[in-house]
């Protein structure tokens, strides 16, 4: 675990992201990350995350957190929840407010309907904000969930980049990650992790898959690869028409 967290910290040091979100966090691995020199540059949300006895999600921000909130999914067998954090920063000529959210949705084909329900609840609630991105381990598998159709103004950040498709942004790849314990019904490779955004005055500039470099001893930081997303200020926000067709909320267009 220590070697994995060290490798993860190296990625953070190289990329220097303003915002980080982690899922399936434990007291142990958060404690290992906290010891690294870069960690002190970030504000941790929730600030008392290490009191959680099991797995949890966190947000790390280089901007001060104005307020934060957790929203438990009532019918989640694994007590999944949505975590949100509101940040403000100066971007001439005015101060901007941005909401960052993260979650870890249910896994397996049996939970496809529940994933859809929870994602629908998430996007409906976050749609009240002008600028918001929700990201994390969505456990979305094309063989069970198909295409995720988003409401107007919402985009899948990966697909917002020309040339990016569902077939070249895998964050789960059993062929490239020998440490994955394969479940009988799981897919070999997929875009399990997503970044969904609703933007006004910003646009997606760059999205890359990270976290796929092994250490010298052959260890990967995680069984999932990460998504590094860069936003930039823009007078006009473009929307991905292919994935922005739903007028009544998120739905899965299953195969």
Residue 29 falls inside a structural domain: yes
Give the pLDDT score at 151.
Answer: 95
Give the pLDDT score at 234.
Answer: 87
Give the pLDDT score at 224.
Answer: 85
- Read off the tokens for 5: 């967290």
Residue 239 falls inside a structural domain: no
Give me the number of domains the chain comprises. Answer: 1
Spatial separation of the C-alpha atoms in residues 245 and 251, rounded to whole Å: 10
Q: 75-114 pLDDT, tens per residue? A: 999 899 999 999 998 876 778 899 999 999 999 999 999 9
Residue 156 structural domain = 1-233
Q: How many helices and strands, by DSSP H and E, does the chain display?
A: 4, 15
Q: Is 158 within 8 Å of 191 (Cβ atoms)?
A: yes
* CATH code, 54: 3.60.10.10
Residue 253 falls inside a structural domain: no
pLDDT at 116 over 80: yes
């Amino acid at each position: 675990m220590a070697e994995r967290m060290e490798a993860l910290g190296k990625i953070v040091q190289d990329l220097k992201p303003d915002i980080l979100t982690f899922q399936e966090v434990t007291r142990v691995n958060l404690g290992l990350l906290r010891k690294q020199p870069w960690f002190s540059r970030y504000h941790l949300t929730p600030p008392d995350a290490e009191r959680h006895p099991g797995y949890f999600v966190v947000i790390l921000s280089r901007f001060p957190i104005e307020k934060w909130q957790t929203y438990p999914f009532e019918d989640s067998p694994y007590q999944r929840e949505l975590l949100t954090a509101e940040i403000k920063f100066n971007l001439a000529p005015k101060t901007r407010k941005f909401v960052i959210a993260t979650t870890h949705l249910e896994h397996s084909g049996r939970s496809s309907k529940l994933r859809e329900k929870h994602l629908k609840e998430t996007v409906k609630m976050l749609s009240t904000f002008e600028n918001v991105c929700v990201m994390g381990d969505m456990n979305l598998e094309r063989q069970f969930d198909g295409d995720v159709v988003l409401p107007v103004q919402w985009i899948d950040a990966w697909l917002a980049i020309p040339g990016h498709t569902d077939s070249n942004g895998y964050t789960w790849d059993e062929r490239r990650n020998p440490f994955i314990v394969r479940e009988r019904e799981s897919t070999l490779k997929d875009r399990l992790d997503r970044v969904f955004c609703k933007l006004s005055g910003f646009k997606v500039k760059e999205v890359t898959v990270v976290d796929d470099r092994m250490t010298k001893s052959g260890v990967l930081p995680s069984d999932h690869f990460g998504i590094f997303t860069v936003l930039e200020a823009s007078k006009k926000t473009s929307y991905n028409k292919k994935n922005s067709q739903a007028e009544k909320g998120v739905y899965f267009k299953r195969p």
